[in-house]
A and B are shown apart, each in its own frame.
Chain A
Amino acid sequence: MQNRTVIPFGPQHPVLPEPIHFDLVLEDETVVEAIPSIGFIHRGLELLCRKKPYQDMVYIAERICGICSFIHGLGYSQGVEKIMEIPIPERALYLRVFWSELSRIHSHLLWLGLTADAAGFESLFNHCWRVREYILDVIEETAGGRVIFGVCKVGGVRRDVDNDTLKRILARLEEIEADYNTIADVFKKDYTMRHRFSGVGVLSKEDAYKLGAVGPTARGSDVAQDLRKLGYAVYDELDFEPVTESDGDCYARCLVRIREVNESFQLIRQAVEKIPGGAVDLKVKGFPEGEFFSRLEQPRGEVVYYVKGNGTKFLDRFRVRTPTFANIPALVQMLGGCDLADVPVIILSIDPCISCMER
């Protein structure tokens, strides 16, 4: 056996926007084992459900993460609404899809920018984040916030967006998508990007399923699993299919996200065309008693919120299983046998959201 060296990777590293740590066991330049550790920014948000009334917990849920904030609020609200059997107005459900897909677009654009930066392509990074700013402008115009939307509540949504504004935004989104497509072409055609990510961090279809991988990490390995197919909100009334790629490498995961951005634009168009009139929220009375596992599709994959109410204004339990946590076993598998120089790229390829994971 060759001499083994252990190199600490993280919690602070240029490629990591947030802290996670790996002890990388190396033989020469090859990683033979990656030992993860987390918890550096653990905040104990789940426990707050015992001190915050259930209506207010949506604010805490949204603050689990600054990138997928809206869908965190939606997942929590859906869990409580199912327990209390609240019939949500259909217009609110369509608006939830509208904001969910805007979240997905801005999250993927953020990731594409970071990926370009990791490959040393700084102008591409700038263009990704420039287009992302346009999306954030749309979010700000419709929700009021750029990072924390603050519009989802138990019983519907807090803000309506009138149909004229929605149509105007749709026209604006056409321009943004055209702009985005020129950037996406660089990812698809540029030799440097293809060369850097192809064949790196390969995860087979069988391993992706067996290891419980979710989101683009699973779909990049040809696992057609997208929790929007459960039909929550009004996804059952919209036409879409999970985006998959079959190579299972970092580039396949990149292509999945690139195509998902176009799919999100398409879903927004469908939602705006079909959105009915009417109220956007209901006055909620009573307290939740019961339990539900609320499952949704975050930009990074399946997220699970376990909500358990006891008939008082405080919940017994609020637990979140985030997609990044589910992708750690797949990441550990991908890192085994890779070159040390590929470690940052492979970690980045699962789009790790450590804030979500630490909650």
Chain B
Amino acid sequence: MFEEQEIVQVTREELLDRILSMSNEGYRLVQIGCTKMEAFQIDYTFDKDYKFLDLRLMIPIEDAQLPSITGVYGCAFTYENELHDLFGIQVEGISLNYDGNFYRIPVVAPFNIPGKEHEPEETPESKE
């Protein structure tokens, strides 16, 4: 048995209003995830009484900026610091901003620096 999942597209301008209404309706922030494609796909995932809802925002890689949602969901600071440290997304107004010191990884980060994209090592399967 699989749960029904609703994914709603939002724009950067609509984001904070939608986040505020999620909070007012009693939704819990499950996660914020980032997927790099032609643009950054940012997923704000919520749950209320096991009901899943995802707000999806697409932002261009060359203009990777977001407003912080920590004013509404304080716990978002870990995810937003992750967006900054690993993906190089500028998140404006994080309540607990660690300025790039949240992830202390031993490789060059963030991963979207032009010309320094990280690719995994070749495997026998990937050469097929």
Inter-chain contact B98/A321, CB cutoff 8 Å = no
Inter-chain contact A51/B102, CB cutoff 8 Å = no
Instruction: List, in ascending order, chain A residues with CB within 8 A of B102's CB.
Output: 36-39
Sample of 7 further A-B pairs with CB below 8 A, known A39-B105, A44-B107, A212-B30: A47-B120, A52-B126, A210-B74, A230-B3, A293-B54, A306-B33, A326-B31
- Shortest distance in angstroms between B74's beta carbon and chain A's nearest beta carbon? 7
Instruction: List, in ascending order, chain A residues with CB within 8 A of B45's CB.
Output: 293, 304
With A51-B125, A211-B74 as contacts: A292 and B118 at CB distance below 8 Å: no
Q: Quick one: which of B70-128 are within 8 Å of A by CB?
A: 73-75, 77-78, 85, 96, 98, 101-107, 118-123, 125-126
Interface residue? A317 (CB, 8 A): yes
Interface residue? A40 (CB, 8 A): yes
On A, residues with C-beta under 8 Å from B are: 21, 35-40, 42, 44, 47-48, 50-53, 56, 78, 82, 209-212, 227, 229-232, 236, 292-293, 295, 302, 304, 306, 308, 313-314, 316-317, 319, 321, 325-326, 328-330, 332
With A35-B98, A306-B43 as contacts: A319 and B33 at CB distance below 8 Å: yes
Give the complex CA separation of A325 and B123 in angstroms.
30
Interface CB pairs A-B, < 8 A, 10:
A37-B98, A38-B103, A56-B125, A210-B73, A212-B73, A293-B45, A306-B35, A328-B78, A329-B75, A329-B78
Closest to B29 in A: A212
Interface residue from A44, A52, A306 paired with B125 (Cβ < 8 Å) = A52
Inter-chain contact B30/A304, CB cutoff 8 Å = yes
Question: How many B residues are at the interface, by size bracket?
Answer: 35 or more
Inter-chain contact A48/B120, CB cutoff 8 Å = yes
Instruction: List, in ascending order, chain B residues with CB within 8 A of A329's CB.
Output: 74-75, 77-78
- Shortest distance in angstroms between A343's beta carbon and chain B's nearest beta carbon? 18
With A210-B74, A212-B30 as contacts: A231 and B125 at CB distance below 8 Å: no
Inter-chain contact A229/B50, CB cutoff 8 Å = yes
Give the complex CA separation of A137 and B85 in angstroms.
42
On B, residues with C-beta under 8 Å from A are: 1-3, 5, 28-31, 33, 35, 37, 43, 45, 50, 52, 54, 73-75, 77-78, 85, 96, 98, 101-107, 118-123, 125-126
Inter-chain contact A82/B2, CB cutoff 8 Å = yes
A295, A319, A332: most-surrounded residue (chain B CB, <10 A): A295
Instruction: List, in ascending order, chain A residues with CB within 8 A of B73's CB.
Output: 210, 212
Inter-chain contact B52/A39, CB cutoff 8 Å = no
Give the complex CA separation of A293 and B120 in angstroms.
23
- Shortest distance in angstroms between A181's beta carbon and chain B's nearest beta carbon? 31
Closest to A325 in B: B78
Give the complex CA separation of A237 and B89 in angstroms.
44
Give the complex CA separation of A302 and B45 in angstroms.
13
Give the complex CA separation of A170 and B40 in angstroms.
49
Inter-chain contact B5/A292, CB cutoff 8 Å = yes
Inter-chain contact A37/B104, CB cutoff 8 Å = yes
Give the complex CA separation of A230 and B121 in angstroms.
37
Closest to A310 in B: B37
Instruction: List, in ascending order, chain A residues with CB within 8 A of B120's CB.
Output: 44, 47-48, 50-51
- Shortest distance in angstroms between B71's beta carbon and chain A's nearest beta carbon? 13
Inter-chain contact B30/A302, CB cutoff 8 Å = yes
Closest to A82 in B: B2
Give the complex CA separation of A179 and B120 in angstroms.
47
Give the complex CA separation of A295 and B43 in angstroms.
15
Instruction: List, in ascending order, chain B residues with CB within 8 A of A232's CB.
Output: 1-3
A42, A53, A236, A308: most-surrounded residue (chain B CB, <10 A): A42
Instruction: List, in ascending order, chain A residues with CB within 8 A of B106's CB.
Output: 42
Instruction: List, in ascending order, chain A residues with CB within 8 A of B101's CB.
Output: 37
A36, A56, A78: most-surrounded residue (chain B CB, <10 A): A36
Closest to A358 in B: B105
With A37-B103, A47-B120, A329-B77 as contacts: A53 and B125 at CB distance below 8 Å: yes
- Shortest distance in angstroms between A338's beta carbon and chain B's nearest beta carbon? 18
With A39-B103, A293-B54 as contacts: A47 and B77 at CB distance below 8 Å: no
